[in-house]
Each structure stands twice: as C-alpha cells, then as structure tokens.
A and B are shown apart, each in its own frame.
Chain A
C-alpha cells in the first residue's frame, strides 16, 4: 500500500473564550493516501472545519502530531464563500495567490489562464466578480486555489452557499477538475449525498469533541461522475450506512 501523504496522530484542539473552553477535536487519528478523495462528514458543529485549519497550519494542535510525508507539501484551501476581491478582475483574482507567494512567473500565469480556459471561464477573464453567477464565482475561487499547484486540496463546504442545481453541477465539475489534475483532496461537508457521491472514503466524525468514528469505503469506479454515482444501486445503501453512523 502507499504511504500516506498526511497523518494526524492523537491530535487534540480546544477553542478558548473568556467564558468557556470548547474541545473541538480529541485524540483524532487519520491518514490520507496520495491521490485519494476523502470526505469528512459529521453532526453540525463537530469540528470538521477545525481539522482543515489544523492541517493548513492556521491552528496549532494542543496535543498530538500532524506529519506530512513531504515537508514541502503544497496545500490549497477552498473556503465556503468565494471571497473574490470585487476590485480585481477574474484574471487578477485567480493570480492573487501567486502574487502573494511571489511565484507569478510566465509559466504559473500561463497555467492559471489555461485552467480558466479549460473550465469555461476564459471568456470572463476581464469581468469583475459581481458580474458572475454564484457557481461561476466559486469556480473562480477553485481555480485561484489550483493556480498555486497544490498537492493537497482542502475543501471546506465549498458548495453550501449555492442553490441545489448549481451545487450538483459544480460538484460534478470540481470532481472532474480534481481527478484530471490528479490531486489529493479532503472535502468537509454536512451533505451526506455529496460526500458519498464524490469521495473514495467517507470519514464519519463523532460529535464534539470529535474523532473518526467510522471509515466507509465507497468503492465506486473513478470513471463515474458524482452525478452518475447517485443513480447506481450501491448509492442508497452507502448513504444509509453513513446516515446511521452520524450521531444525533
């Protein structure tokens, strides 16, 4: 078997406020294999987002360790909202990360523009974010993340701000993009069908303070798109299994 590109071992983290401390994750163990698509589901407020922040390095674990196979692993983070800068064009928004990291070269710029072209946004390069629909904006946000050429993608409920139609369509597209780019991805979502239809493995989190309660392999063929997976007979039983595992 492959060695994991990322392992969390006995990781604990609590949030502190002046009135209380809230344990978010406790003795969390998980590993992510190269090239896999993992989804994290769990009851709301169970610290799913905290896990991504810990992996990204925005939060530091108070106990336990986070190990990367390659210490220079590039991580891309996609938030729930697109947070495109309204005064920058689509092109400039996509190049923001490269600018910030001083990596804007002819090659990386060309790559970012190629991504825009490849995913149907080439014609909108000179547009401003307010001229785009919610789905398009979210796609621009994804390309902004991909432009950094990350090895690992962290997706924090990236579709939850969208209407249902757009959501299905965009999850199909994002899945295709991530597969084509051969990225490893961790998707955090509260939507069980989204998790089951997109992921190779679904990690069910317990309620707070959370740890991994169950891991469910979906076992779909990678050739099937998330939308197609929703129509195969194995889908519903998987959905039910995840549903039953989630604490309420």
Chain B
C-alpha cells in the first residue's frame, strides 16, 4: 500500500466518522432544543410536551406494566399484517405473472386499488369483521398487499422475452423459467417491496387502532389527543419511531443475507 492510498483510506474513514457524528448531532440538537424550549417557555409544554415529560410518561407506563402490553399489541398486529400482506401480495404477483390473461383482465382494477387509500375502507372493515384486533390486522394486510403485488409483479416482468427464449431453447418448462430466471431476477424488487411494505403495515395498523382499538400505541395516541395528554401522544410517537426503525433494520439485514452470495 503506497502513501497516497493510505491517505485516501484515512480521508474516507474520516468522512464516514464525520457523517456519523453529524447524524447523532442532529438528534441531540433536536431533543436539546425541544427540552430547552420547554424549560425557557418558548412554547407551551402542555401543547408540545418535552423530552423529559416524554421520558417520565414512558417510565410511568412502564411502572404500571402498561408499556409492554401496548407495544406488544401494536407490534403483533403490525408484524402479522406485514407477513400476511407481503406473502399474499407476492403470491398474487406470481399468479398474475403466470397467467398473463388474468393479469390483463385485472390490471385496471389493480391500478385503482393501488391508488385507493385503503384506510378509507376502515369503517367497512369494522362492520364486516367487527371492532377488534382482526379488523386492525386486515387493515395492515390491505395497505401492504396491493403495493407488494404491484412492485413484485413489475420486478418479475423485467425479465426480458429474450431471456425466456433462451430458457426455451434449453428446453425449460414455465416453472423452470420462473424458478431459475424470473424469481432471481426479481429478487431486488421483492426486497424493495418488503421495505415499502414495512412502512405501509405501520400505517394500516395505527389507523386501524385509531378506529377500533382498546390497546396499542395508536390507541394511546388517540386517547391522549382526546383527553389533551400530549405527553402521552408524543411518548407513543417516539416509541413508534424506534419500533419502525428497528423493523426496517430487520428487513435490511434480511436483504444482506439474501444478496450476499452474489456480491
């Protein structure tokens, strides 16, 4: 290794560390200003709350054994909605790829369903399924399902006719074409769909909880808003941020595992 290269590596490393520090700095500045604003009365902490009040609220929830129950409820609904939504969505994409005629028939409906805000169906779901956790999970499923189908199907359709022709010249069946070419080629989009879907499931579940729940973070937010306990609202939002980030990271880890071998 010559001197210039060593210097280059050092510069790169320094830039990386700089970015990390700046990131943490933004977080500290955000919470710092928030707290200071509350302490010095720049705004009314009753309306905007403050980090120390958020922290106290979380501690209180923990002490009364409510914290894990609410987190657990929402997390369970979200993970279930996410898994069902992506599994069903991906399966639907496979069916539509397999049967081009069905795809052509359903295409306009898929476009409409994709554009439709699924949460508009909330009241309908409650009437059909009942005011319980089932409705919330179904909402999480609905919100992630269509977007998964559309993204994954697009990924499958990127496989060119020429590549399929090659497989046919080798004597491949349709199943083999799917398994050996279309699926591996669509893997990138499958992972992209998972990442979108993670966020979508949170949206569906939180909105679902707004409408019907008796527990969960969405319930805490609505309840806090109604009785003007903004500390409770903010505390729930902060917890949601952490959970959503963790779940996204989990998917990113899965991506690494799936794509590592071809790097």
Chain A residues with a Cβ under 8 A of chain B = 56, 58, 76-77, 79, 81, 83, 85-87, 96-97, 99-101, 128, 144, 148
Contacts and interface: CB of A to CB of B under 8 A. Distances in A.
Interface residues of B, number: 16
Given A85-B180, A97-B170, A148-B170, 14 more contacts: A58-B169, A77-B169, A79-B162, A79-B166, A79-B169, A81-B162, A83-B166, A85-B181, A87-B262, A97-B171, A100-B167, A100-B170, A100-B171, A128-B262
16 contacts: A56-B169, A58-B168, A58-B169, A76-B169, A79-B162, A79-B165, A79-B166, A81-B162, A83-B162, A83-B163, A87-B262, A96-B170, A97-B171, A99-B180, A100-B167, A101-B171
A144 B170 CA distance: 9
The 4 nearest A-B residue pairs measured at CB: A77-B169, A97-B170, A83-B166, A100-B172
Interface in B146-194: 162-163, 165-172, 176, 180-181, 184-185
Given A85-B184, A100-B180, A58 B171 contact: no
Interface of B: 162-163, 165-172, 176, 180-181, 184-185, 262
Contact of B176 (A76, A77, A81, A100): A100
Contacts of A86: 262
Contacts of B163: 83, 85
Contacts of B172: 100
B170 A58 contact: no
A101 B173 CA distance: 9
Contact of A58 (B162, B165, B180): B165
B166 to A, nearest CB: 4
A98 B172 CA distance: 10
A101 B170 contact: yes
Contacts of B181: 85
A148 B184 CA distance: 23
A100 B184 CA distance: 15
B168 A87 contact: no
A81 B165 CA distance: 11
Contacts of A56: 169
Contacts of A100: 167, 170-172, 176, 180
A117 to B, nearest CB: 22
**Residue in B170, B180, B185 with the greatest tally of chain A CB atoms within 10 Å:** B170
A148 B167 CA distance: 13
A85 B164 CA distance: 11
Nearest to B259: A87
Contacts of A85: 163, 180-181, 184
Nearest to B166: A83
A81 B169 CA distance: 13
Contact of A87 (B162, B169, B170, B184): B184
A247 B181 CA distance: 40
A128 B185 CA distance: 15
B162 to A, nearest CB: 6
A101 B167 CA distance: 11
B187 to A, nearest CB: 8
A122 to B, nearest CB: 22
A65 to B, nearest CB: 22
Contacts of A99: 180
Nearest to B169: A77
Contacts of B176: 100
A34 B162 CA distance: 29
B259 to A, nearest CB: 9
B185 to A, nearest CB: 8
Given A101-B171, A128-B262, A148-B170, A96 B180 contact: yes
Contacts of B162: 79, 81, 83
A96 B262 CA distance: 17
B144 to A, nearest CB: 27
A156 B142 CA distance: 48
A96 to B, nearest CB: 6
B22 to A, nearest CB: 35
A225 B91 CA distance: 54
B213 to A, nearest CB: 44
B156 to A, nearest CB: 15
A87 B262 CA distance: 6
A97 B170 CA distance: 5
